[in-house]
Amino acid sequence: MARRVTDPAAFGRVAVLMGGWSAEREVSLSSGRNVLEALRACGVDAHGIDADRRNILRLAECGYTRAFNLLHGVGGEDGTVQAVLDLQKIPYPGCGVLASALGMDKLLCKRLWKAEALPTPDYRLVREPSDALAAAENLGYPLFIKPAADGSSLGVSKVATPDQLACAFAEAYRTGGAVMAEACVAGGEYTCCVLEGHRLPLIQIEPDGEFYDYHAKYQSDNTRYYCPASMNAADADRLQDLCQRAFALLGGEGWGRVDFLLDERSRPWLIEINTLPGMTSHSLLPMAARTAGLDFPELCWAVLETSLPGGESKRGVQ
């Protein structure tokens, strides 16, 4: 992937937003520190900002001309910070307000996919424990109970028996938002990363545990990743096309990730979209980029380039 600019001064003074106030704060700090180090190694005038609800309102006033947002979770990934940056006319890579909000809300995301006949597991909105029981009776066991608007698999439980429903609902409900039940698809877990219209190699995931939860994602060294995924080129191309369509349908731009499953008959089932991928040592986008020939500093540069004039993102004023 050729560079569009070679002079780091083209980016101006860059605020690398990390930390924040969501349950994913520690993941965000890890992503932010990695990106900050990589951008500085490339000569970019980058500054780490441990973001809170006050200092993000003063970025333009403090002389920042661009932001690299790594605020995972509620607030940073749901359109809130994107709106704050738009109001300050600060360009940033990635999805804007609407796409970020849709991507964060799994219920709305799945409704849109279903409306366009894209494959995604059946689901139900769960308002109270009795709804969870009704959903389980309809969807069958096992099933997933999860927050509708959170990331990193926080609050997600795989439920095998009725006696586990109440605890699973309480775990998801304590995140403070809507709760959903989702049918369980038996099969392999995969992800497709996109970078300014380019499809990166598919990754197949063998999680350490029953599913790809927080422990398997960020803490375990026993989760196995296969990149590129083991499949023929035609199948990979078909699945990448589906994921690109799913990403574009929500208004996705810049960079992102689409997670999906392949069932026992090799049929794909879209699970969710990640509009702000992790950049930690265990994260998937850097892995896919590395397979495509981009080391981590090159990846960070390429992501930041998407916020420049003529890039995929048309937001912000230079």
Structure tokens at 128: 């109270």
Rounded Cα gap, residues 208 and 189, in angstroms: 12
Rounded Cα gap, residues 19 and 76, in angstroms: 9
Rounded Cα gap, residues 16 and 67, in angstroms: 6
Rounded Cα gap, residues 223 and 80, in angstroms: 33
Residue with tokens 């926080």: 154
Name the residues annotated as catalytic: 24, 152, 218, 257, 259, 272, 274, 278
CA dihedral angle for residue 214, residue 216, residue 220, residue 222, rounded to 10 degrees: 180
Residue in 186, 142, 196 with CA at minimum distance from that of residue 168? 142
CB-CB contact of 110 with 120 (8 Å): yes
Alpha helices in the chain (DSSP H): 25-41, 80-87, 97-104, 106-115, 129-139, 165-173, 214, 233-249, 284-291, 296-305
Structure tokens at 233: 């080129």
Structure tokens at 67: 């932001």
CA angle 154, 27, 38 (to 5 degrees): 150
Element holding 183 (H helix, E strand):
strand 179-183
| Residue 101 C-alpha from the chain's centroid | 12
